[in-house]
Structure 1
């Protein structure tokens, strides 16, 4: 993906009115916006950092088994 993958939509007078971006880029933008939103709250920031640094847990397969899925 590169800058040439982004498409600009112009009106009849040549003013840019929209942008079309690849879905992968859009998902990155959404993720960054969501993270920025969550980090505005000190409580959520602490929870995210705690989760990121957590070393204990159970394997995914074991969690699925416990949940019956």
Structure 2
């Protein structure tokens, strides 16, 4: 298992792993934070259909309408 920061990871490096989990906070109306915009854009260009891959958010109980998973 490895852990890294989204703003330090190259998108094409995810193909080296059998299983990828990305956890991040969101802000506004569920927007990605600025520090992970580049990696998200790179990942959207990759073909990941043969890999286990998930992106999840941390949730925030301050937003009663959206915090079901927090």
* Short-chain TM bin: under 0.3
Higher relative contact order (CA 8 A, sep 6+): 2
Which structure: greater strand fraction?
2
Q: TM-score, normalised by structure 1?
A: 0.23
TM-score by length of 2: 0.22
Bigger Rg, structure 1 or 2 = 1
